[in-house]
């Protein structure tokens, strides 16, 4: 009888382990968020900062604005005319006067990269602008734009766009995302492990 009881107890432990594992992986997203680093040093434009997002997608700047979790992008002209774009002072794409910013630009977010591409054509500040300040500084709204293979930065107090020639498929940011377990998943795992320890301790006391 004792041997049978040991077998039953082992089955209970294995079942509990399997249940905890199932709960943990079913409640933990395979990908819960990643921080992509920005580090571009061009002849006219410097970009540094990060973008945090939880979506892998190919999308427009306006849609990306609703997906992005956080960002801080500092743009400058060789350390001059510096401006830092954040969620508090800027927007990706957006609508203004029944027109949408950045309709020519596509953001492609993968596991490793955030890339920019644009429909070929002549420059159009409205349709090429993918990130823009919400308010003007010295009558200029700072912005980042992209068309063909040209990365643009409109800085204040300059009233024109600085351009750098880049690849038509431009790597704006890069990183290796890491899975971030949710608090609920960690609680489930801890509870399950504690239950397994209690069962094992009870068995050791009985036997």
H, E, C per residue of the chain: CHHHHHHHHHHHHHHHHHHHHHHHHHHCCCCCCEEEEEEEECCCCEEEEEEEECCCEEECHHHHHHHEEEEEEEEEECCEEEEEECCCCEEECCEECCEECCCCEEEEECCCEEEEEECCCCCCHHHHEEEEECCCECCECCEEEEECCEEEEECCCCCCEEEEECCCCEEEEECCCCCCCCHHHHHHHHHHHHHHHHHHHHHHHHC
**In contact, 152 and 146? CB cutoff 8 Å:** yes
Query: In the sheet that 143-147 helps form, which strands lie side by side, from edge to edge?
Result: 90-92, 129-133, 143-147, 150-154, 161-165
Residue 15: pLDDT band with limits 50, 70, 90: low
Under 8 Å CB-to-CB from 64, ≥6 apart: which residues? 53, 57, 92, 93, 107, 109
The two tokens of residue 71 are 């960002």
Q: What is the pLDDT of residue 54?
A: 86
Q: What is the mean pLDDT of residues 2-20?
A: 51
Q: What is the pLDDT of residue 7?
A: 43
pLDDT digits (tens, 9 = 90+) for 124-174: 989 999 999 999 999 999 999 999 999 999 999 988 899 999 999 999 999
Q: What is the pLDDT of residue 28?
A: 42
**In contact, 67 and 52? CB cutoff 8 Å:** no
Q: What is the pLDDT of residue 109?
A: 96
Q: What is the pLDDT of residue 206?
A: 54
Cα-based distances in Å from 125 to 63, 83, 102, 130, 145: 19, 18, 8, 10, 7
Residue 25: pLDDT band with limits 50, 70, 90: very low
User: Does residue 182 register a pLDDT over 60?
Assistant: no
Q: What is the mean pLDDT of residues 96-106?
A: 90
Residue 26: pLDDT band with limits 50, 70, 90: very low
């Amino acid at each position: 009888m004792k041997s049978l009881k040991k077998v039953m107890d082992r089955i209970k432990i294995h079942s509990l382990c399997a249940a905890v594992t199932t709960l943990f992986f079913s409640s933990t997203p395979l990908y819960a968020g990643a921080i992509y680093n920005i580090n571009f040093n061009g002849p006219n434009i410097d970009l540094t900062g990060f973008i945090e997002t939880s979506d892998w997608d190919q999308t427009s700047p306006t849609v990306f604005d609703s997906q992005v979790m956080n960002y801080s992008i500092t743009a400058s002209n060789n350390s001059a005319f510096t401006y830092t774009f954040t969620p508090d002072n800027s927007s990706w794409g957006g609508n203004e006067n029944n027109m949408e910013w950045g309709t020519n630009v596509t953001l492609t977010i993968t596991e490793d990269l955030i890339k920019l591409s644009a429909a070929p054509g002549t420059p159009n500040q409205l349709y090429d602008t993918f990130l823009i300040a919400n308010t003007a500084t010295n009558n200029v709204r700072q912005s980042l734009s992209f068309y063909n293979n040209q990365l643009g930065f409109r800085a204040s107090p300059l009233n024109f766009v600085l351009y750098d020639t880049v690849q038509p498929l431009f790597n704006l940011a890069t990183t290796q995302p890491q899975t971030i377990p949710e608090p609920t998943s960690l609680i489930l795992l801890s509870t399950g492990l504690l239950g397994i320890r209690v069962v094992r301790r009870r068995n050791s006391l009985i036997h």
